[in-house]
Amino acid sequence: MATAIDLAKVIYQVPDLELMKTTLLDFGLVLAEYGDQVLYMRGTGTQHHIHETRLGDEARFVGAAIQVSERADLDELAGMPGSSPVLANTDPGGGWVVRMTMPDGFEISAVWGREEAQALPLRAPNPFNSGHSKERFNESIRVRSEPSPVIRLGHFVLRVSNHDESVAWLQERFGMLPSDHFAPPGETGPIGGTFLRFNRGKKLVDHHSILILQSDTVDVHHSSYEVQDMDAIMCAHDYLRSKNWKLDCGVGRHLLGSQVFDYWKDVFGFRIEHYIDGDVVDADHKAGLFNGTAGETTQWGMEPPSDFFT
């Protein structure tokens, strides 16, 4: 089984690349490369790019790329049903790629050997004076409403027609581990959602990099990007409001994964999330079962709108 170590990027298609670029710049991503047919955006981290947009008539989510640990992982994936051979990656950053198609038609690639980008400058987290621990003294916090730099792609969420099939597909190819499951309120099954993380042994990873949700609608639910701290998420929130972007849900704190979240809708109707302070776990973490109501998935802050869970 291949060892997957990180998300490389999400891939969308829209009819107007310039509009997508404007959205993503306001959201704190940085231009990596821009051509007639495709737009690549990056964060401040070392991934060459984390967001690809292809030009096309219809706005849709295309898929994602997942970074694997070594070249041999690609060889193994290339031998699985429906996989391409190992190909030279023609995307910026290069390296090698195996192209696959998930159930419901999402294009998932495994990539290895992609060139790393130089990390971009990023302010340090603002020191925080909690009740018991004072980290800031003889200085003040001064912040502005402005785009907050996105550091990295944290996770994406897919609504699928067959939850079990999609989860098995990802686990068989990438060795992903479940961190939490959803079941209907008061029931232990059937499982309608699974939070999946990468298996990196004792190394800490995000509580989830992919969430798979059983749904009547096959689509992306959202993609999510990590920013530096509470000031970053709130300054971005005020900035996005000032630019009249449509607030979807935020700010609040999730139950599963514990992230402080802020969701927005872009002009194409895609939901996009800023987050901070998510749980990180190692391979010893045991999956939990959540069988409460949708409203109970928010610990504090703005409750999600009714269409959030459909």
Binding site for Fe ion (CB under 5 A): 224, 273
Q: Least CB distance from residue 190 to Fe ion, whole Å? A: 22
Q: Which is nearer to Fe ion, 23 or 297 (CB)?
A: 297
Q: Least CB distance from residue 168 to Fe ion, whole Å? A: 22
For Fe ion, the nearest residue by Cβ is 224
Q: Which is nearer to Fe ion, 17 or 276 (CB)?
A: 276
Q: Which is nearer to Fe ion, 149 or 257 (CB)?
A: 257
Helix or strand run (H / E) with residue 301: strand 298-301
Q: Least CB distance from residue 155 to Fe ion, whole Å? A: 6
Side by side, the strands of the sheet bearing 87-88 are 30-34, 38-42, 51-55, 4-14, 60-68, 107-112, 96-101, 87-88
Q: Which is nearer to Fe ion, 99 or 197 (CB)?
A: 197
Q: Which is nearer to Fe ion, 209 or 224 (CB)?
A: 224
Q: Which is nearer to Fe ion, 76 or 273 (CB)?
A: 273
Q: Least CB distance from residue 50 to Fe ion, whole Å? A: 15
Q: Least CB distance from residue 4 to Fe ion, whole Å? A: 19
**At residue 200, what is the residue type?**
R
Q: Identify how many contiguous H helices and E strands the chain contains and give both numbers.
A: 4, 20
CA distances from 151 to 28, 89, 270, 276, 293 (A): 9, 24, 20, 10, 32
Cα–Cα nearest to 51, from 123, 121, 154: 154
- Write the CB contacts of 138 (distance below 8 Å, at least 6 apart in sequence): none
Paired residues of 255 in beta bridges:
none
C-alpha 235 chain-centroid distance: 20
Q: Are 236 and 273 in contact, with CB atoms under 8 Å apart?
A: no
Helix or strand run (H / E) with residue 7: strand 4-14
Q: Least CB distance from residue 221 to Fe ion, whole Å? A: 8
